[in-house]
A and B are shown apart, each in its own frame.
Chain A
Amino acid sequence: MFDTSPQTLPAAAGIGFKSQHFAGLMDAPGPVRWLEIHAENYMGAGGRPLAQLRALAERFPISVHGVGLSIGGDRPLDRDHLARLRHLCDWLNPASFSEHLAWSTHDTGFLNDLLPLPYTAATLARVAEHIDMVQDALGHPMLLENPSTYLAFAESDWSEVDFLAELSRRTGCGLLLDVNNVFVSAVNQGTDPRAYIDAFPMHTVCEIHLGGHDDDADDTGRPLLIDSHGRPVADPVWTLYAETVAQAGPKPTLIEWDTDVPPLPELIAEAGRAAAILTPETVS
Protein backbone atom coordinates (compact mmCIF):
# COMPACT_ATOMS: atom_id res chain seq x y z
CA MET A 1 0.00 0.00 0.00
CA PHE A 2 2.70 2.50 1.02
CA ASP A 3 6.34 3.04 0.19
CA THR A 4 8.09 0.11 1.81
CA SER A 5 11.45 1.80 2.33
CA PRO A 6 12.38 2.05 6.01
CA GLN A 7 11.17 5.25 7.64
CA THR A 8 12.25 6.87 10.86
CA LEU A 9 10.67 9.50 13.06
CA PRO A 10 12.38 12.89 12.71
CA ALA A 11 14.01 14.39 15.82
CA ALA A 12 11.20 16.95 15.84
CA ALA A 13 7.81 17.51 17.44
CA GLY A 14 4.77 15.30 16.79
CA ILE A 15 1.28 15.06 18.27
CA GLY A 16 -1.15 12.27 19.03
CA PHE A 17 -3.64 12.26 16.14
CA LYS A 18 -7.33 12.84 16.84
CA SER A 19 -9.91 12.47 14.07
CA GLN A 20 -11.34 15.98 14.57
CA HIS A 21 -7.94 17.53 13.74
CA PHE A 22 -7.61 15.82 10.36
CA ALA A 23 -8.47 18.79 8.10
CA GLY A 24 -6.43 21.24 10.18
CA LEU A 25 -3.34 19.05 10.12
CA MET A 26 -3.55 18.44 6.38
CA ASP A 27 -3.95 22.18 5.90
CA ALA A 28 -1.48 23.79 8.30
CA PRO A 29 0.51 21.44 10.55
CA GLY A 30 2.85 24.19 11.78
CA PRO A 31 5.73 22.64 13.75
CA VAL A 32 4.05 19.19 13.77
CA ARG A 33 6.34 16.94 11.73
CA TRP A 34 4.97 13.51 12.59
CA LEU A 35 1.91 11.86 14.13
CA GLU A 36 1.22 9.05 16.53
CA ILE A 37 -1.89 6.87 16.46
CA HIS A 38 -3.24 4.31 18.90
CA ALA A 39 -3.02 1.00 17.06
CA GLU A 40 -6.29 -0.38 18.42
CA ASN A 41 -8.35 2.48 16.96
CA TYR A 42 -7.31 1.43 13.45
CA MET A 43 -8.17 -2.24 13.62
CA GLY A 44 -11.55 -1.85 11.95
CA ALA A 45 -12.26 -3.03 8.42
CA GLY A 46 -12.63 0.39 6.79
CA GLY A 47 -14.47 3.68 6.96
CA ARG A 48 -13.20 7.10 7.98
CA PRO A 49 -10.44 6.02 10.42
CA LEU A 50 -8.50 4.06 7.81
CA ALA A 51 -9.19 6.62 5.07
CA GLN A 52 -7.81 9.41 7.24
CA LEU A 53 -4.80 7.32 8.18
CA ARG A 54 -4.09 6.54 4.52
CA ALA A 55 -4.09 10.26 3.68
CA LEU A 56 -2.01 11.21 6.73
CA ALA A 57 0.59 8.53 6.00
CA GLU A 58 1.26 10.05 2.60
CA ARG A 59 2.16 13.30 4.30
CA PHE A 60 3.63 12.48 7.73
CA PRO A 61 5.81 9.76 9.26
CA ILE A 62 3.46 7.77 11.52
CA SER A 63 4.25 6.19 14.86
CA VAL A 64 1.95 3.31 15.83
CA HIS A 65 1.51 3.18 19.60
CA GLY A 66 -0.17 0.09 21.02
CA VAL A 67 -2.21 0.18 24.21
CA GLY A 68 -3.54 -3.38 24.25
CA LEU A 69 -0.79 -5.96 23.81
CA SER A 70 -0.39 -6.55 27.56
CA ILE A 71 3.36 -7.13 27.22
CA GLY A 72 3.69 -7.23 31.00
CA GLY A 73 0.93 -9.82 31.32
CA ASP A 74 1.57 -13.09 33.15
CA ARG A 75 -0.01 -15.13 30.35
CA PRO A 76 0.97 -15.66 26.72
CA LEU A 77 0.47 -12.76 24.32
CA ASP A 78 -2.88 -12.76 22.51
CA ARG A 79 -1.87 -14.17 19.13
CA ASP A 80 -4.98 -12.83 17.42
CA HIS A 81 -4.19 -9.34 18.62
CA LEU A 82 -0.59 -9.67 17.55
CA ALA A 83 -1.79 -10.76 14.10
CA ARG A 84 -4.07 -7.69 13.89
CA LEU A 85 -1.13 -5.50 14.82
CA ARG A 86 1.05 -7.10 12.20
CA HIS A 87 -1.70 -6.61 9.62
CA LEU A 88 -1.90 -2.89 10.46
CA CYS A 89 1.89 -2.42 10.38
CA ASP A 90 2.25 -4.38 7.12
CA TRP A 91 -0.35 -2.11 5.52
CA LEU A 92 0.92 1.17 6.96
CA ASN A 93 4.71 0.66 7.11
CA PRO A 94 4.93 3.00 10.12
CA ALA A 95 8.14 4.74 11.16
CA SER A 96 7.91 3.20 14.61
CA PHE A 97 5.93 0.80 16.78
CA SER A 98 5.84 1.21 20.55
CA GLU A 99 4.09 -0.38 23.52
CA HIS A 100 4.10 -0.12 27.31
CA LEU A 101 5.81 -1.84 30.18
CA ALA A 102 2.41 -2.75 31.61
CA TRP A 103 -0.36 -5.34 31.42
CA SER A 104 -4.03 -4.91 30.56
CA THR A 105 -5.52 -8.32 29.84
CA HIS A 106 -6.27 -11.29 32.06
CA ASP A 107 -8.61 -14.27 31.87
CA THR A 108 -11.89 -12.38 32.00
CA GLY A 109 -11.00 -9.74 29.45
CA PHE A 110 -9.31 -6.49 28.51
CA LEU A 111 -9.20 -3.97 31.37
CA ASN A 112 -8.32 -0.87 29.30
CA ASP A 113 -5.68 0.46 31.63
CA LEU A 114 -1.89 0.21 31.82
CA LEU A 115 -1.49 -1.89 34.96
CA PRO A 116 1.79 -2.15 36.88
CA LEU A 117 4.07 -5.12 37.36
CA PRO A 118 6.78 -5.89 39.92
CA TYR A 119 10.36 -5.64 38.73
CA THR A 120 11.89 -9.07 39.41
CA ALA A 121 14.07 -11.55 37.52
CA ALA A 122 10.96 -13.59 36.71
CA THR A 123 8.95 -10.69 35.26
CA LEU A 124 12.04 -9.53 33.37
CA ALA A 125 12.37 -12.92 31.65
CA ARG A 126 8.68 -12.99 30.75
CA VAL A 127 8.54 -9.44 29.38
CA ALA A 128 11.71 -10.12 27.35
CA GLU A 129 10.06 -13.20 25.86
CA HIS A 130 6.98 -11.16 24.93
CA ILE A 131 9.10 -8.43 23.32
CA ASP A 132 10.92 -11.10 21.29
CA MET A 133 7.55 -12.42 20.07
CA VAL A 134 6.39 -8.95 19.03
CA GLN A 135 9.65 -8.19 17.23
CA ASP A 136 9.54 -11.57 15.48
CA ALA A 137 5.96 -10.90 14.36
CA LEU A 138 6.67 -7.36 13.13
CA GLY A 139 10.08 -8.09 11.67
CA HIS A 140 11.77 -5.09 13.32
CA PRO A 141 12.57 -3.71 16.76
CA MET A 142 9.85 -2.14 18.88
CA LEU A 143 10.07 0.61 21.50
CA LEU A 144 9.05 0.02 25.11
CA GLU A 145 7.71 2.87 27.24
CA ASN A 146 8.35 3.53 30.94
CA PRO A 147 5.06 3.60 32.88
CA SER A 148 3.42 6.03 35.29
CA THR A 149 3.19 4.25 38.62
CA TYR A 150 1.04 4.93 41.65
CA LEU A 151 2.09 2.17 44.02
CA ALA A 152 4.96 -0.20 44.75
CA PHE A 153 5.30 -3.99 44.90
CA ALA A 154 6.75 -5.66 47.98
CA GLU A 155 8.58 -8.18 45.77
CA SER A 156 10.30 -5.72 43.36
CA ASP A 157 14.09 -6.03 43.55
CA TRP A 158 15.12 -4.23 40.34
CA SER A 159 15.01 -0.49 39.78
CA GLU A 160 12.77 0.52 36.88
CA VAL A 161 15.68 2.06 34.96
CA ASP A 162 17.82 -1.08 35.33
CA PHE A 163 14.82 -3.23 34.38
CA LEU A 164 14.21 -1.25 31.17
CA ALA A 165 17.93 -1.10 30.31
CA GLU A 166 18.27 -4.85 30.75
CA LEU A 167 15.17 -5.48 28.59
CA SER A 168 16.68 -3.35 25.83
CA ARG A 169 20.01 -5.16 26.16
CA ARG A 170 18.40 -8.63 26.02
CA THR A 171 15.90 -8.01 23.23
CA GLY A 172 17.43 -5.20 21.19
CA CYS A 173 14.26 -3.15 21.63
CA GLY A 174 14.50 0.63 21.81
CA LEU A 175 13.03 2.64 24.68
CA LEU A 176 10.37 5.32 24.63
CA LEU A 177 11.09 7.75 27.43
CA ASP A 178 7.91 9.39 28.72
CA VAL A 179 9.23 12.36 30.67
CA ASN A 180 5.83 13.09 32.21
CA ASN A 181 5.68 9.48 33.42
CA VAL A 182 9.15 9.90 34.94
CA PHE A 183 7.97 12.97 36.82
CA VAL A 184 4.62 11.45 37.88
CA SER A 185 6.24 8.22 39.11
CA ALA A 186 9.07 10.04 40.93
CA VAL A 187 6.63 12.24 42.85
CA ASN A 188 4.41 9.24 43.59
CA GLN A 189 7.33 7.03 44.66
CA GLY A 190 9.17 9.76 46.56
CA THR A 191 12.25 9.56 44.32
CA ASP A 192 14.26 12.08 42.32
CA PRO A 193 13.20 12.47 38.66
CA ARG A 194 16.64 13.90 37.74
CA ALA A 195 18.39 10.85 39.13
CA TYR A 196 16.09 8.70 36.94
CA ILE A 197 16.98 10.73 33.84
CA ASP A 198 20.71 10.70 34.73
CA ALA A 199 20.65 6.90 35.04
CA PHE A 200 18.52 6.27 31.94
CA PRO A 201 20.29 4.57 29.00
CA MET A 202 19.81 7.49 26.59
CA HIS A 203 21.54 5.70 23.69
CA THR A 204 18.50 3.36 23.53
CA VAL A 205 15.90 6.18 23.50
CA CYS A 206 14.21 6.56 20.10
CA GLU A 207 11.22 8.67 21.15
CA ILE A 208 10.09 10.95 23.98
CA HIS A 209 6.53 11.49 25.24
CA LEU A 210 5.20 14.58 26.99
CA GLY A 211 1.71 14.87 28.42
CA GLY A 212 -0.31 16.52 31.16
CA HIS A 213 -1.06 15.13 34.63
CA ASP A 214 -3.56 15.85 37.41
CA ASP A 215 -2.70 16.61 41.04
CA ASP A 216 -4.24 14.57 43.83
CA ALA A 217 -3.22 13.24 47.26
CA ASP A 218 -3.10 9.74 48.74
CA ASP A 219 -4.70 8.58 52.03
CA THR A 220 -1.76 9.96 54.02
CA GLY A 221 -1.91 13.39 52.36
CA ARG A 222 1.19 12.80 50.22
CA PRO A 223 1.00 14.15 46.66
CA LEU A 224 -0.37 11.67 44.14
CA LEU A 225 -0.03 12.68 40.50
CA ILE A 226 -2.34 11.06 37.94
CA ASP A 227 -1.18 10.57 34.34
CA SER A 228 -4.38 11.89 32.74
CA HIS A 229 -3.24 13.28 29.34
CA GLY A 230 -6.00 15.84 29.76
CA ARG A 231 -4.18 19.18 30.13
CA PRO A 232 -1.01 21.04 29.05
CA VAL A 233 2.40 19.66 29.97
CA ALA A 234 3.29 20.89 33.48
CA ASP A 235 6.16 23.37 33.95
CA PRO A 236 8.43 21.02 35.96
CA VAL A 237 7.99 18.42 33.19
CA TRP A 238 9.11 20.98 30.59
CA THR A 239 12.19 21.66 32.72
CA LEU A 240 12.93 17.96 33.03
CA TYR A 241 12.43 17.57 29.27
CA ALA A 242 14.90 20.38 28.51
CA GLU A 243 17.43 18.66 30.79
CA THR A 244 16.76 15.36 29.02
CA VAL A 245 17.35 16.91 25.59
CA ALA A 246 20.52 18.59 26.87
CA GLN A 247 21.75 15.19 28.03
CA ALA A 248 20.50 12.95 25.21
CA GLY A 249 20.40 15.30 22.22
CA PRO A 250 17.26 15.94 20.16
CA LYS A 251 14.80 13.01 19.95
CA PRO A 252 11.40 12.67 18.25
CA THR A 253 9.05 14.20 20.85
CA LEU A 254 5.31 13.62 21.09
CA ILE A 255 2.66 15.76 22.75
CA GLU A 256 -0.01 13.39 24.11
CA TRP A 257 -3.47 14.75 24.88
CA ASP A 258 -6.17 12.06 25.05
CA THR A 259 -8.98 13.34 27.29
CA ASP A 260 -10.71 16.74 27.04
CA VAL A 261 -8.84 17.08 23.74
CA PRO A 262 -8.39 20.80 22.89
CA PRO A 263 -8.70 22.46 19.47
CA LEU A 264 -5.70 21.85 17.20
CA PRO A 265 -4.07 25.29 17.75
CA GLU A 266 -3.52 24.46 21.42
CA LEU A 267 -1.79 21.19 20.50
CA ILE A 268 0.27 22.98 17.86
CA ALA A 269 1.36 25.50 20.51
CA GLU A 270 2.51 22.65 22.79
CA ALA A 271 4.34 21.04 19.86
CA GLY A 272 5.96 24.43 19.15
CA ARG A 273 7.21 24.59 22.72
CA ALA A 274 8.83 21.16 22.32
CA ALA A 275 10.27 22.16 18.93
CA ALA A 276 11.84 25.25 20.46
CA ILE A 277 13.66 23.07 23.00
CA LEU A 278 14.70 20.56 20.32
CA THR A 279 16.12 23.17 17.91
CA PRO A 280 16.49 26.46 19.77
CA GLU A 281 18.20 28.23 16.85
CA THR A 282 15.15 27.91 14.56
CA VAL A 283 12.66 29.52 16.94
CA SER A 284 10.83 32.29 15.17
Chain B
Amino acid sequence: MTDQPAFAAALMDPAQTAPAHLLNPFGGPAGKRFDVYRNNVAVSLTEALETGFPTVRKLVGAEFFRAMAGVFLRANPPEDPRLMLYGAKFPGFLARFDPVRHLPYLPDAARLDLGLRQSYHAADAPPFDTRGLDPAAVMALRPRLAPATLVLSSRFPVFSIWRANAEAHAPRPGTAPEDVLIARKGFDPAPHLLPPGGLTLARALKGRLTLAEAMARTLADHPEADFAALLTLVFTSGALTLHP
Protein backbone atom coordinates (compact mmCIF):
# COMPACT_ATOMS: atom_id res chain seq x y z
CA MET B 1 0.00 0.00 0.00
CA THR B 2 1.07 3.58 -0.32
CA ASP B 3 2.29 5.71 2.48
CA GLN B 4 0.27 8.85 1.91
CA PRO B 5 0.37 10.04 5.55
CA ALA B 6 4.20 10.07 5.44
CA PHE B 7 4.12 11.79 2.02
CA ALA B 8 1.73 14.43 3.37
CA ALA B 9 3.74 14.96 6.56
CA ALA B 10 6.97 15.48 4.60
CA LEU B 11 5.10 17.76 2.18
CA MET B 12 4.08 20.10 4.99
CA ASP B 13 7.44 20.05 6.82
CA PRO B 14 10.34 21.51 4.79
CA ALA B 15 12.79 20.21 7.41
CA GLN B 16 11.99 16.56 6.53
CA THR B 17 13.65 14.75 3.66
CA ALA B 18 11.43 13.06 1.06
CA PRO B 19 10.24 9.54 1.99
CA ALA B 20 12.80 6.92 0.89
CA HIS B 21 10.53 5.03 -1.53
CA LEU B 22 10.26 8.16 -3.70
CA LEU B 23 12.94 8.15 -6.36
CA ASN B 24 14.57 10.21 -8.96
CA PRO B 25 13.57 8.01 -11.98
CA PHE B 26 17.28 7.51 -12.71
CA GLY B 27 17.81 5.65 -9.44
CA GLY B 28 18.72 8.35 -6.91
CA PRO B 29 16.66 9.92 -4.13
CA ALA B 30 13.77 12.21 -5.16
CA GLY B 31 15.46 15.35 -3.76
CA LYS B 32 14.36 18.51 -5.53
CA ARG B 33 11.67 16.56 -7.41
CA PHE B 34 9.75 16.15 -4.17
CA ASP B 35 10.14 19.89 -3.58
CA VAL B 36 8.02 20.53 -6.70
CA TYR B 37 4.99 19.15 -4.82
CA ARG B 38 6.00 20.96 -1.62
CA ASN B 39 6.26 24.19 -3.54
CA ASN B 40 2.94 23.70 -5.37
CA VAL B 41 1.10 23.22 -2.07
CA ALA B 42 2.70 26.17 -0.27
CA VAL B 43 2.48 28.58 -3.22
CA SER B 44 -1.10 27.74 -4.19
CA LEU B 45 -2.40 28.03 -0.64
CA THR B 46 -0.42 31.22 -0.03
CA GLU B 47 -1.96 32.69 -3.19
CA ALA B 48 -5.42 31.71 -1.98
CA LEU B 49 -4.77 33.59 1.28
CA GLU B 50 -3.30 36.60 -0.57
CA THR B 51 -6.41 36.82 -2.74
CA GLY B 52 -8.70 36.29 0.22
CA PHE B 53 -7.13 38.78 2.65
CA PRO B 54 -6.07 41.85 0.65
CA THR B 55 -6.53 44.27 3.58
CA VAL B 56 -4.39 42.18 5.94
CA ARG B 57 -1.75 41.86 3.23
CA LYS B 58 -1.60 45.63 2.75
CA LEU B 59 -1.41 46.20 6.50
CA VAL B 60 1.55 43.87 7.09
CA GLY B 61 3.24 44.09 3.67
CA ALA B 62 3.48 41.45 0.93
CA GLU B 63 6.68 39.79 2.13
CA PHE B 64 5.63 39.48 5.76
CA PHE B 65 2.22 38.21 4.65
CA ARG B 66 3.80 35.40 2.60
CA ALA B 67 5.92 34.29 5.53
CA MET B 68 2.94 34.44 7.89
CA ALA B 69 0.74 32.57 5.40
CA GLY B 70 3.36 29.80 5.34
CA VAL B 71 3.07 29.39 9.12
CA PHE B 72 -0.74 29.43 8.95
CA LEU B 73 -1.17 26.99 6.07
CA ARG B 74 1.13 24.37 7.59
CA ALA B 75 -0.90 24.35 10.79
CA ASN B 76 -4.26 24.88 9.05
CA PRO B 77 -4.50 23.32 5.59
CA PRO B 78 -7.96 23.69 4.00
CA GLU B 79 -10.60 21.45 5.56
CA ASP B 80 -12.12 20.63 2.19
CA PRO B 81 -11.45 21.36 -1.51
CA ARG B 82 -13.56 24.51 -1.64
CA LEU B 83 -10.78 27.10 -1.52
CA MET B 84 -13.44 29.83 -1.55
CA LEU B 85 -13.94 28.93 2.12
CA TYR B 86 -10.25 28.75 3.00
CA GLY B 87 -9.03 31.01 5.76
CA ALA B 88 -12.04 31.00 8.11
CA LYS B 89 -9.52 30.32 10.92
CA PHE B 90 -7.14 33.06 9.80
CA PRO B 91 -8.63 35.84 12.01
CA GLY B 92 -8.30 33.62 15.09
CA PHE B 93 -4.75 32.71 14.07
CA LEU B 94 -3.85 36.41 13.78
CA ALA B 95 -5.22 37.06 17.26
CA ARG B 96 -2.75 34.53 18.68
CA PHE B 97 0.24 35.09 16.37
CA ASP B 98 2.92 36.84 18.45
CA PRO B 99 4.72 38.71 15.64
CA VAL B 100 1.53 40.74 14.95
CA ARG B 101 0.56 41.37 18.56
CA HIS B 102 1.32 45.08 18.03
CA LEU B 103 -1.49 45.22 15.43
CA PRO B 104 -4.52 44.35 17.58
CA TYR B 105 -6.97 45.39 14.84
CA LEU B 106 -5.57 42.82 12.39
CA PRO B 107 -8.05 40.01 13.28
CA ASP B 108 -11.01 42.32 12.63
CA ALA B 109 -9.50 43.48 9.34
CA ALA B 110 -9.25 39.78 8.42
CA ARG B 111 -12.90 39.24 9.45
CA LEU B 112 -13.90 42.05 7.13
CA ASP B 113 -11.93 40.54 4.21
CA LEU B 114 -13.45 37.14 4.97
CA GLY B 115 -16.95 38.63 5.22
CA LEU B 116 -16.64 40.24 1.78
CA ARG B 117 -15.66 36.87 0.30
CA GLN B 118 -18.52 35.07 2.08
CA SER B 119 -20.92 37.70 0.81
CA TYR B 120 -19.62 37.25 -2.76
CA HIS B 121 -20.49 33.54 -2.73
CA ALA B 122 -23.70 33.77 -0.69
CA ALA B 123 -27.08 32.75 -2.07
CA ASP B 124 -28.99 35.18 -4.29
CA ALA B 125 -32.16 36.76 -2.90
CA PRO B 126 -34.85 38.97 -4.40
CA PRO B 127 -34.27 42.66 -3.60
CA PHE B 128 -36.40 44.38 -0.98
CA ASP B 129 -38.75 46.22 -3.30
CA THR B 130 -41.10 48.79 -1.78
CA ARG B 131 -42.26 50.40 -5.02
CA GLY B 132 -45.96 51.26 -5.00
CA LEU B 133 -46.31 50.90 -1.22
CA ASP B 134 -47.21 53.79 1.05
CA PRO B 135 -44.90 54.43 4.05
CA ALA B 136 -47.29 52.76 6.54
CA ALA B 137 -47.37 49.61 4.43
CA VAL B 138 -43.57 49.60 4.19
CA MET B 139 -43.30 49.89 7.99
CA ALA B 140 -45.54 46.83 8.36
CA LEU B 141 -43.23 44.66 6.20
CA ARG B 142 -40.92 42.11 7.77
CA PRO B 143 -37.73 42.40 5.76
CA ARG B 144 -34.89 40.07 6.59
CA LEU B 145 -31.18 40.40 6.03
CA ALA B 146 -30.23 38.95 2.64
CA PRO B 147 -27.97 35.86 2.75
CA ALA B 148 -25.13 38.05 1.41
CA THR B 149 -25.52 40.54 4.29
CA LEU B 150 -23.12 40.35 7.24
CA VAL B 151 -22.65 42.61 10.22
CA LEU B 152 -19.29 43.03 11.94
CA SER B 153 -18.88 44.81 15.25
CA SER B 154 -15.37 45.92 16.13
CA ARG B 155 -13.50 47.57 19.00
CA PHE B 156 -11.39 49.21 16.27
CA PRO B 157 -12.10 51.62 13.40
CA VAL B 158 -12.20 48.63 11.08
CA PHE B 159 -14.24 50.28 8.31
CA SER B 160 -11.82 53.22 8.12
CA ILE B 161 -8.87 50.81 8.17
CA TRP B 162 -10.39 48.86 5.28
CA ARG B 163 -11.08 52.05 3.37
CA ALA B 164 -7.58 53.44 3.90
CA ASN B 165 -6.20 50.25 2.35
CA ALA B 166 -8.74 49.95 -0.47
CA GLU B 167 -9.14 53.55 -1.68
CA ALA B 168 -6.53 55.99 -2.90
CA HIS B 169 -7.45 59.17 -1.03
CA ALA B 170 -9.29 57.81 1.99
CA PRO B 171 -9.03 59.69 5.29
CA ARG B 172 -6.66 58.37 7.96
CA PRO B 173 -8.48 56.06 10.39
CA GLY B 174 -9.31 57.58 13.77
CA THR B 175 -9.55 55.61 17.00
CA ALA B 176 -13.30 55.23 17.60
CA PRO B 177 -14.76 51.72 17.29
CA GLU B 178 -16.79 51.04 14.14
CA ASP B 179 -19.49 48.58 13.13
CA VAL B 180 -19.62 47.47 9.52
CA LEU B 181 -22.46 46.31 7.30
CA ILE B 182 -21.38 44.11 4.40
CA ALA B 183 -24.10 44.02 1.74
CA ARG B 184 -24.24 42.85 -1.85
CA LYS B 185 -26.00 44.80 -4.53
CA GLY B 186 -26.13 42.63 -7.62
CA PHE B 187 -22.95 40.58 -7.42
CA ASP B 188 -20.52 43.02 -5.83
CA PRO B 189 -20.34 43.07 -2.03
CA ALA B 190 -19.31 46.31 -0.32
CA PRO B 191 -18.64 47.31 3.30
CA HIS B 192 -20.58 50.26 4.75
CA LEU B 193 -20.01 52.10 8.00
CA LEU B 194 -22.98 51.38 10.26
CA PRO B 195 -24.23 54.54 12.00
CA PRO B 196 -25.26 54.45 15.70
CA GLY B 197 -28.17 52.05 16.20
CA GLY B 198 -27.34 50.14 13.03
CA LEU B 199 -26.20 47.01 14.83
CA THR B 200 -29.39 46.96 16.91
CA LEU B 201 -31.55 47.47 13.83
CA ALA B 202 -29.78 44.64 11.98
CA ARG B 203 -30.20 42.29 14.94
CA ALA B 204 -33.86 43.22 15.27
CA LEU B 205 -34.47 42.44 11.60
CA LYS B 206 -32.83 39.05 12.06
CA GLY B 207 -35.51 38.45 14.70
CA ARG B 208 -38.28 38.73 12.07
CA LEU B 209 -39.75 41.95 13.43
CA THR B 210 -41.65 44.39 11.26
CA LEU B 211 -39.71 47.44 10.19
CA ALA B 212 -41.77 49.56 12.64
CA GLU B 213 -40.99 47.17 15.53
CA ALA B 214 -37.31 47.03 14.64
CA MET B 215 -37.15 50.84 14.54
CA ALA B 216 -38.89 51.12 17.90
CA ARG B 217 -36.37 48.72 19.43
CA THR B 218 -33.49 50.65 17.90
CA LEU B 219 -34.85 53.95 19.22
CA ALA B 220 -35.16 52.51 22.74
CA ASP B 221 -31.48 51.51 22.73
CA HIS B 222 -30.18 54.43 20.69
CA PRO B 223 -32.26 57.58 21.11
CA GLU B 224 -29.57 59.41 19.08
CA ALA B 225 -30.07 57.14 16.03
CA ASP B 226 -30.42 58.95 12.72
CA PHE B 227 -33.22 56.96 11.09
CA ALA B 228 -33.07 58.77 7.78
CA ALA B 229 -29.42 57.73 7.39
CA LEU B 230 -30.02 54.22 8.71
CA LEU B 231 -33.01 53.47 6.50
CA THR B 232 -31.33 54.96 3.44
CA LEU B 233 -28.37 52.67 4.08
CA VAL B 234 -30.36 49.47 4.58
CA PHE B 235 -32.75 50.23 1.71
CA THR B 236 -30.10 51.16 -0.89
CA SER B 237 -27.20 48.84 -0.05
CA GLY B 238 -28.92 45.60 -1.02
CA ALA B 239 -28.85 44.47 2.63
CA LEU B 240 -32.52 43.48 2.81
CA THR B 241 -34.76 40.94 1.20
CA LEU B 242 -38.39 40.09 1.82
CA HIS B 243 -39.48 37.23 4.03
CA PRO B 244 -40.44 34.26 1.87
Q: Are A111 and B41 in contact (CB under 8 A)?
A: yes
Q: Are A108 and B187 in contact (CB under 8 A)?
A: no
Contact A112 to B45, CB < 8 A, known contacts A152-B23, A189-B25, A220-B26: yes
- Contacts of A48 on B, CB cut-off 8 Å? 120, 187-188
- Contacts of B83 on A, CB cut-off 8 Å? 40-41, 112
Alpha-carbon distance between A81 and B11 when the two chains are bound, in angstroms:
23
| Mask: chain A, 141-154; 1 = CB below 8 Å from B; 0 = not | 00000000011111
Kindly specify which of B29-37, B56-64, B106-114, B136-144 makes contact with the partner chain: B29-37
Contact A218 to B81, CB < 8 A, known contacts A46-B124, A108-B8, A154-B23: no
B121 at the interface (CB under 8 A from A): yes
B199 to chain A, nearest CB (A): 24
Contact A219 to B81, CB < 8 A, known contacts A106-B8, A111-B8, A112-B48: no
Contact A113 to B40, CB < 8 A, known contacts A45-B123, A104-B81, A154-B23: yes
Q: Are B78 and A118 in contact (CB under 8 A)?
A: no
B147 at the interface (CB under 8 A from A): yes
Alpha-carbon distance between A43 and B123 when the two chains are bound, in angstroms:
11
B100 to chain A, nearest CB (A): 23
A38 to chain B, nearest CB (A): 10
| Mask: chain B, 1-32; 1 = CB below 8 Å from A; 0 = not | 11011011001100000101111111010111
Contact A110 to B77, CB < 8 A, known contacts A40-B83, A45-B123, A222-B26: yes
| Mask: chain B, 192-233; 1 = CB below 8 Å from A; 0 = not | 000000000000000000000000000000000000000000
| Mask: chain A, 23-46; 1 = CB below 8 Å from B; 0 = not | 000000000000000001101111
A74 at the interface (CB under 8 A from B): yes
Who on chain B is nearest to A70 by CB? B81
A215 at the interface (CB under 8 A from B): no
Q: Are B25 and A188 in contact (CB under 8 A)?
A: yes
Alpha-carbon distance between A241 and B121 when the two chains are bound, in angstroms:
38
Of B1, B32, B41, B80, the residue contacting A74 (CB under 8 A) is B1
Q: Are A153 and B84 in contact (CB under 8 A)?
A: no
B148 at the interface (CB under 8 A from A): yes
Who on chain A is nearest to B22 by CB? A151
Alpha-carbon distance between A152 and B30 when the two chains are bound, in angstroms:
8
Contact A105 to B24, CB < 8 A, known contacts A46-B121, A49-B121, A112-B44: no
- Contacts of B22 on A, CB cut-off 8 Å? 151-154
Q: Are B8 and A40 in contact (CB under 8 A)?
A: no
A53 at the interface (CB under 8 A from B): no
Contact A111 to B11, CB < 8 A, known contacts A47-B124, A81-B80: yes
Of B21, B40, B147, B188, the residue contacting A153 (CB under 8 A) is B21
Alpha-carbon distance between A113 and B41 when the two chains are bound, in angstroms:
6
A109 at the interface (CB under 8 A from B): yes
B122 at the interface (CB under 8 A from A): yes
Alpha-carbon distance between A152 and B17 when the two chains are bound, in angstroms:
16
Who on chain B is nearest to A225 by CB? B36
- B118-140 CB contacts (< 8 Å) to partner A: 120-124
- Contacts of A218 on B, CB cut-off 8 Å? 24, 31-33
A71 to chain B, nearest CB (A): 12
Who on chain A is nearest to B148 by CB? A47
Alpha-carbon distance between A105 and B184 when the two chains are bound, in angstroms:
33
Contact A154 to B21, CB < 8 A, known contacts A49-B121, A74-B1: yes
- Contacts of A103 on B, CB cut-off 8 Å? 4
Q: Are A47 and B41 in contact (CB under 8 A)?
A: no
Of B2, B25, B32, the residue contacting A117 (CB under 8 A) is B2
- Contacts of B44 on A, CB cut-off 8 Å? 112-113
B96 at the interface (CB under 8 A from A): no
- Contacts of A236 on B, CB cut-off 8 Å? none
Q: Are A51 and B187 in contact (CB under 8 A)?
A: yes
Alpha-carbon distance between A111 and B41 when the two chains are bound, in angstroms:
6
B102 at the interface (CB under 8 A from A): no
- B48-73 CB contacts (< 8 Å) to partner A: 48
Interface residues of B (CB under 8 A from A): 1-2, 4-5, 7-8, 11-12, 18, 20-26, 28, 30-34, 36-37, 40-41, 44-45, 48, 76-84, 120-124, 147-148, 184, 187-188
